[in-house]
Amino acid sequence: MALKQLDYYRVKLHILSPIHVGTGQELDPFSFVIHDNQLYLFDLIKWIDLYPEKNELYSMMDSDNFAQVRSFIAENLDIDKTVICSIPVESQDLLKTYKRAIQERDPSNQVLINPMPRNEVRAVAYIPGSSIKGAIRTAIANRFVKAAAVTAEDSRRGRGYYDEKIFGRIFEDPMRLLKVSDVPLADSGTTIVEASEFSLNPDKSSTPKGHVEVAQNLCLSKKEITYALRFSMAPFEMHGKLVNLEFLLDSLYRFYVPKYEEEFLKFYEPQRAAAIRKGIAPMNQVVEGLKTNETILRMGHFSHVECVTLDGVRKPRTRRGNDGRPLPWGTTRTLANGLYPFGWAKLEFLDLDSVPRPKREWAFLSGKEKFSDSKTGKLKSQHGESEKKMPSLQSLKSLQDKWKK
């Protein structure tokens, strides 16, 4: 593919809900302490160098008792002289778990925390540009499922099997003409939450999935969190269509807005999810008010299968149940602190015309949503009355069909 001149565009990234992009590793237990609702990352080597009682310290460090060493550090750390950065802790469970681990010197209590990637020089957390570009790539790929003759079997076998059909061989991939920068977050731009699983099955209790560092966001902070995004691209052809900035924006809107509504309809039934609905209300207002130069997208861990696979050919692999059959997919959501869906953000393209979109009904607006009963398959209004019988998946399919028109 011949190189083209890239055009630079002004883009804003608005973080709507907790976004977690992992590093593949947990925090080293000797790299942090938690005091007064703050997690402090510190320089262990510097602390050792500054600690006055070297014999006492070396004796303790030679101990095989991991928990005792961790507690000794927590009780003797000079935060002012050795701290690299601090991160607010929003999870009460983590605060209690850490306090118990330090006090009881319990080696079985590892206090595992999954961090965001950080700049090695300044220790600033960031959202990788590759995560944003990956979300864009999925939306664009979704526009060409039919044109590229992608099948459910391609989808079942994995992204590699349909990527080449849609984008061509790796050295021909037109997405090389799209560049998205990493997004350094503010000094107070992250917080630590507990991830937990929320099931469609009302008899299944919430399942803890660990503690994770997330980008600070609208839902948690109740204020707008916005970053400038360095974004450049050159238009390119795919399957007879011109992919330019307008096409990219339209693809994102077509793909992710229906997913947002479908998730709301499927999971956040008023009686069971009243607290969740209240927590995401600010995000609902953003989605309702999207202008013609704006769209939402989903990125990072816990984005869920619907947002990382393609419509019409979605056939993800799942583990098998006791009967040997694959378990159903799309039956749970992972929420931050049991309230906030992960991964949602808004992109605002400042170089495109910004006018209100045509008025329409939204599934999440009070008084207009309908939910499917997980046991009867009947639709219910927000007050719980049964309406005409209709499989829940059919109501979601009608949403998808509406957005394809």
Averaged pLDDT for residues 131-149:
97
Could you give the 3-state DSSP secondary structure of residue 119? coil
Global pTM reads: 0.88
Give per-residue pLDDT as tens, 66-121: 898 999 999 999 888 999 999 999 999 999 999 999 999 988 888 999 999 999 88
Nearest to 42 by CA among 151, 123, 157: 123
Q: What distance in Å separates the CA atoms of residue 45 and residue 48, rounded to the nearest whole number?
A: 5
Residue with tokens 């109740």, as numbered in its chain: 222
pLDDT at 12 over 90: yes
The average confidence (pLDDT) of the chain is: 88
| Torsion angles phi and psi, residue 378, rounded to 5 | -85, 150
pLDDT at 380 over 60: no
Q: What distance in Å separates the CA atoms of residue 310 and residue 139, rounded to the nearest whole number?
A: 8
Give per-residue pLDDT as tens, 77-87: 988 899 999 99
Give per-residue pLDDT as tens, 237-249: 999 999 999 999 9
Contact 91, 113 (CB under 8 A): no
Q: Structure tokens of 47?
A: 């602390």
Q: What distance in Å separates the CA atoms of residue 109 and residue 96, rounded to the nearest whole number?
A: 11
What pLDDT score does 366 carry?
57
Q: What distance in Å separates the CA atoms of residue 148 and residue 168, rounded to the nearest whole number?
A: 10
pLDDT at 352 over 50: yes
- Looking at the DSSP bridge assignments, the partners of residue 243 are 236
CA 40 to chain centre: 24
- Domain positions in the chain are 7-22+126-404, 32-111
Q: Structure tokens of 177?
A: 């003409």
Nearest to 364 by CA among 271, 305, 295, 278: 278
What pLDDT score does 2 carry?
59
